[in-house]
Structures are given as structure tokens and as C-alpha cells.
């Protein structure tokens, strides 16, 4: 192309990381803290699920699926997401999805992941709750044995589904006869606009009393007050996204002082238009303010990304070298709900990988 409009804008668009940095990221042991169960269904997994349910309109051919996963707008994304939800009909579908998601994480050297699951989407559709829990637990144990990736669960309330969903999610997360062994945290997802966080306080109170950690989404599509609400009313220990925190100095100082991590998902923020462009992403502002920044992938195949690609984005936006990337990975270990020895082990693995690294 010779048109002058196609000439790169120079210093305004800094170069991406080198091939060496990409190779470092690919082998770096990592923890993933913000990734959704159904939202992690890659074309490979969706194709397997679609083949099990031939009446579905979802294509089974992986190449056709790549087109199917190319979204024209946010409404189209929701439509495709719901068509994938519709493929999760039996406990065996749940098991297959969970196990295969772990395989995709393991390929990226993810050693530990807290997977956000919305059990209400499945129990509402008639999947037996005990069979559902057995399916995810069976997949968790098999994934740990087969791939060495440790999975833990965050059960989240789909906020848009209202009090019925909140009550059902809380019951599934706190009833000793149902709650799965791998459950560590309690979340809140869905749209923020028109769904104020404070109304969920009683449910979070019950979950916290049952020993679960609080990790709501907040400040992704609304302002910093939503993050304050999540901290005050829902006693958030980490914030899902928290993008708009950048607009409130006092909030940034509070997050930094209390080591409340932000689960930053850069590509997702662009895909959902929460942030206009990657270069305008506030991740650098967070890091400069001393906030504990973690990088995560949210709904990776649906946003055309994966955790390794998000680390490469962070390397560019935060100007990180290999040591900087290792520190970023260790932020996620610190902010995770692993126990002390588990955190020490994974941090040591990151250190020894970094010490032994020599660029190709
Ligand atoms: Zn999310």
C-alpha cells in the first residue's frame, strides 16, 4: 500500500514485544484469575459439543466456527455466547467443557486457574445440581492428574437475572450437601448498568460467612462509584476489571494501600468497548499508582485472545522485559486464593524459569 494514511504513526504506536519475549511468555508458568467457564469454549471445544447435539444451529466444522466466532457487534457476541450456553445440556457436556478448558490452559503453562462458573445457567436449564457439581469436580481432578493444572471455582451471580439467580447461586455455593470442594470464591457478573451492586450485599454476606472470598466484577462499564460499592457493600478482595478506577485518585490509593488486586483483561475491554483502544487502556495508570495489577483473559476465544496474548499486550503497554513479565505473573500468584505453600511453590517455579531463561 502506498497511501500515506497507511504509514505507521511512529512513536504513537510502539512496537510489540520481540520474538524472544513471546517465547518467554509461552513458557512462563502462570496463574489465571479471571476467566469464564462457558466463555473459554474454544472453536475446538464448541465443535465437539455441537457434534453431540446435531439439532443445534452451531456449526461443527472448526473452520466455519472461526467465522461464527467473528462478531459484528456486542449483540452478536451475546447471541453467539447464548448459543454456546445452549450446547451445555447434560452433565457429560459440563465435564467435557471443563476438562477441555483445562487442556487449553495447560498448553499456555497455566499452573493454577480460578475459573468463574455460573451454575444458575445450568441448573435453570434442568441439569441436576448434584450431577453438575460431580461433573466439574471430576474434570478438576482429572485435569490436575493429566495436565498438572490446578483448578479452583468462583461461582458468580448473573446480575441481570435478579434475586432469584442470586438466591440460587448463594444456596449452591453455601449448602454443604451441594457445594463443590474446589469452590473458593463468590462473584457477580452480567451488565453493571441498571444492576446496582449494593442489592447483592445479603448474598455476599452469606457466601463470606461460609468461607468464600469476594470477587465481584465492578467498574467495567460504569464509573468508580461501582468499585467503591463493591468494596463497601460486597467486601471485595479483588475487583473484576475495575477499569474506571483510573478516574478516581482516592480509589487508586485505597486499592494500592489494601493490596486489592485488579483483574485486568485488556483485549476484553476493547472488544466490549469498555475502553476505546489498547493504547488508551489504563493498565499503566494502575501500575504507576502502585495497584496490584494482574492480567487475565476473561472470555478468550470469544475475544480472539488467550492468556499468553494478554501478557504480550501487557508487555507492550507496561514496557516490560522478561523480569517485568515474571513479576506480573507473580502478582497473580500473590492475588490468588492459593494457600501459603501453594503460592510459594508457584512463585519459586516462576523464579527458576526466569533465572534459567536464555533468549532463543
Ligand atoms: Zn468477566
Q: What is the pLDDT of residue 233?
A: 98
pLDDT of residue 15: 64
pLDDT > 90? residue 4: no
pLDDT in tens, 217-242: 999 999 999 999 999 999 999 999 99
**Separation between Cα atoms, residue 226 and residue 69, nearest integer Å:** 31
- Residue-level pLDDT at 1: 34
Please check the confidence at residue 305 and state whether its pLDDT lies above 50. yes
Beta bridge partners of 116: 36, 154
Indicate if the alpha-carbon torsion angle 253, 258, 264, 270 is positive or negative. Answer: negative
From ligand 1's centre to the CA of 34, what distance in Å?
Answer: 6
Mean pLDDT in residue range 186-211: 95
**From ligand 1's centre to the CA of 263, what distance in Å?**
9
Residue with the bigger pLDDT between 147 and 62: it is 147
**CA 163 – ligand 1 centroid, Å:** 20
pLDDT at 16: 78
- Is the per-residue pLDDT at 290 higher than 80? yes
- Point out the least confidently predicted range of 31-40, 70-79, 103-112: 70-79
CA dihedral 157, 272, 197, 291 (to 10 degrees): 110
Query: Averaged over 166-171, what is the pLDDT?
Result: 98
For ligand 1, the distance from its centroid to the CA atom of residue 345, given in whole angstroms, is 27
> Ligand 1 centre and the CA of 189: distance in Å?
7
CA-to-CA dists, residue 320 to 29, 221, 314, 317, angstroms? 17, 27, 8, 8
* 48 counts as catalytic: no
Mean pLDDT on 58-65: 86
Compare 71 and 282 and report the one with higher pLDDT. Answer: 282
- Scored b (16 or more CB within 10 A) or e, 318-343 reads bebebeebbebbbbbbebbbbeeebb
pLDDT above 50 for 79:
yes
Which of 54-58, 138-142, 163-167 has the least mean pLDDT?
A: 54-58
Residue length, the chain? 360
Confidence tier at 11 by pLDDT (50, 70, 90): very low
Q: Which of 286, 278, 289, 273 is nearest to 317 (CA)?
A: 278
Is residue 13 scored above 50 in pLDDT?
A: no
Longest dimension (CA), the chain: 67
Return residues with CB closer than 5 A to ligand 1 (ion): 298
Collapsing DSSP to helix, strand or coil, 191 comes out as coil
Q: Of 220, 263, 310, 322, which one is the catalytic site residue?
A: 220
Q: What is the DSSP letter of 212?
A: P
pLDDT at 278: 94
Per-residue three-class SS string for 91-127: HHHHHHHHHHHHHHHHHCCEEEEEEEECHHHHHCCCC
Amino acid at each position: 500500500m502506498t497511501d500515506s494514511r497507511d504509514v505507521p504513526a511512529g512513536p504513537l504506536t510502539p512496537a510489540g514485544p520481540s520474538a524472544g519475549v513471546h517465547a518467554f511468555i509461552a513458557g512462563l508458568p502462570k496463574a489465571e484469575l479471571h476467566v469464564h467457564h462457558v466463555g473459554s469454549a474454544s472453536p475446538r471445544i464448541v465443535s465437539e459439543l455441537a457434534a453431540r447435539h446435531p439439532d443445534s444451529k452451531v456449526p461443527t466444522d472448526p473452520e466455519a466456527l472461526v467465522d461464527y466466532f467473528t462478531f459484528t457487534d456486542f449483540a452478536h457476541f451475546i447471541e453467539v455466547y447464548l448459543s454456546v450456553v445452549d450446547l451445555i445440556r447434560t452433565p457429560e457436556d459440563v465435564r467435557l467443557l471443563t476438562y477441555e478448558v483445562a487442556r487449553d490452559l495447560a498448553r499456555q503453562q497455566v499452573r493454577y486457574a480460578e475459573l468463574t462458573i455460573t451454575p444458575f445457567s445450568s441448573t435453570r436449564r434442568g441439569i441436576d445440581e448434584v450431577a453438575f457439581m460431580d461433573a466439574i469436580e471430576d474434570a478438576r481432578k482429572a485435569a490436575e492428574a493429566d495436565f498438572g493444572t490446578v483448578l479452583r471455582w468462583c461461582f458468580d451471580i448473573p446480575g441481570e437475572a435478579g434475586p432469584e439467580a442470586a438466591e440460587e447461586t448463594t444456596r449452591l455455593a453455601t449448602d454443604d450437601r451441594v457445594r463443590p470442594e474446589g469452590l473458593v470464591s463468590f462473584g457477580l457478573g452480567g451488565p453493571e448498568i441498571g444492576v446496582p451492586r449494593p442489592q447483592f450485599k445479603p448474598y455476599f454476606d452469606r457466601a463470606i460467612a461460609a468461607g468464600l472470598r469476594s470477587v465481584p466484577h465492578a467498574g467495567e462499564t460504569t464509573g468508580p462509584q461501582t468499585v467503591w460499592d463493591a468494596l463497601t457493600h460486597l467486601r471485595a478482595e479483588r475487583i473484576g476489571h475495575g477499569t474506571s478506577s483510573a478516574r478516581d485518585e482516592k480509589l487508586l490509593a485505597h486499592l494500592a494501600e489494601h493490596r486489592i488486586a485488579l483483574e485486568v483483561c485488556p483485549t476484553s475491554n476493547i472488544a466490549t468497548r469498555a475502553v476505546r483502544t489498547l493504547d488508551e487502556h489504563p493498565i499503566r495508570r494502575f501500575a504507576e499508582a502502585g495497584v496490584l495489577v494482574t492480567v487475565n483473559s476473561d472470555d478468550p476465544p470469544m475475544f480472539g485472545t488467550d492468556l499468553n496474548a494478554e501478557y504480550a499486550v501487557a508487555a507492550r503497554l507496561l514496557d516490560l522485559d522478561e523480569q517485568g513479565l515474571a513479576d506480573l505473573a507473580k502478582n497473580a500468584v500473590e492475588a490468588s486464593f492459593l494457600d501459603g505453600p501453594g503460592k510459594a511453590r508457584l512463585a519459586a517455579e516462576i523464579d527458576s524459569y526466569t533465572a534459567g531463561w536464555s533468549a532463543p
